[in-house]
Amino acid sequence: MYAKNRLPMYEGDSFIHTSPAPSHPQPAPPHDANIVLDLERVEQRARELRSKTLRGLLGRAFAWIGKKLQQARRSELEDYLSRSSNLADLERRLKEAEREGRFLPG
């Protein structure tokens, strides 16, 4: 291995330097009551929008879960009815399902 490969490739390699000081200090923004009130209104509106969005997401999630549960009940009912041997057995199973209400929502 050559000695030149062991040396830093450029000045400052592997060294951490502080950033240069700004030449002109930034003036502090004026403290105005209107700015504070505007910020409070913006924060309040952001809270309202956030809660509205969250309610919407939760509502859609619960609706999706309810729909999946209803589809599962419906397929279970269809499976139960498909095992009937004849028309009389099918009608008996339908009446039994309606009477017990275990397959139907509500």
Confidence at residue 14, expressed as pLDDT on a 0 to 100 scale: 62
Confidence at residue 29, expressed as pLDDT on a 0 to 100 scale: 62
> Nearest CA to 101 among 81, 73, 82?
73
Each residue's pLDDT tens digit, 66-96: 999 888 888 888 888 999 999 999 999 999 8
Instruction: Kindly report the pTM of this predicted structure.
Output: 0.46
Confidence at residue 16, expressed as pLDDT on a 0 to 100 scale: 60
The domains of the chain are located at: 69-106
Written as six digits, the tokens of 50 are 């956030």
- Low-confidence residues of the chain, pLDDT below 70? 1-22, 25-33, 102-106
Amino acid at 88: A
Residues 6+ apart with CB under 8 A from 74: 103
Cα–Cα distance list, 100 to 16, 25, 39, 55, 96 (Å): 77, 80, 59, 35, 6
